[in-house]
Structure 1
């Protein structure tokens, strides 16, 4: 995701500090959350507090929708935005990143990026990646991660964060906006105008 963020913002000098949601409980300074803050909103609230405490200018809270429904994306976004808004720290710009289905759907969306990565046209890339879904434990399913793994195997690439990063460096945000309109467009627009409160 980091190369995509740099491409969208036009800032190649962004420094990132990655924390997983499970780690955020270590930083939780609150005994109870404000009313109306639940689900991902609670983690977003804690993440914003940690970002403010650590002097971060921006927070990108990322979670897969794990669903193909735009409504599920919107529900999760609402939870996250309520968490951002419940903590008044306007110095931290906040962005919700919620790929519909899974982040691998975004990785499958740009055929030209795959061509640049491999040096040739890549077969079996799906159309409409936000509509992909399937059983997690079935490697032949249409779950985005499983398709990504099969494409990596077909191209003799590791299914790894390094491959994702190399691929992401070639991804065109305009292509992602067209291929993943339900979730990528929301993320890219929010990245250019982060939530501040």
Structure 2
């Protein structure tokens, strides 16, 4: 195998290693990321996605993924997903020829149906899983980035956080982080019957 495993360390039937993740239970969409949904448009919450090494740049915070589509759970589909919509990053072994075909995409060689064309090494996939498992959002308070770079919030961010004894309220959440304010959001007024 390309990752340097000996025959004793390689599980039977292993075709290669791949970085995987699950679609987050809640994902944020829409203006300022305040529209919380379960899963994504193409994948249900909890769906296992296989993340092959990138061959082309799909854009900041996005990655090519292979998984079973929300509408047809029997076939693998290739999509570009937001990394922020994923959780539980880890490394798994690839054992299925159908999965190899989907991971290879247009580079698949029918003469070698069990060969990954662009494989991960187990170590490289684990390094990226470790980095993304710690993915957290930058914190902005009243429009200014928090001075302490160690302070961050999970993605998606909570509606309220406690910092230095103060309650901060989520104003918006987007590409550049979570924005909080000391002022609570306005309460919705409902007329009395």
**Which structure ranks higher in relative contact order (CA pairs < 8 Å, sequence separation ≥ 6)?**
1
Structure with greater helix share of residues: 1
**With structure 1 as the length reference, what TM-score do the two structures score?**
0.28
**With structure 2 as the length reference, what TM-score do the two structures score?**
0.28
Structure with greater strand share of residues: 2
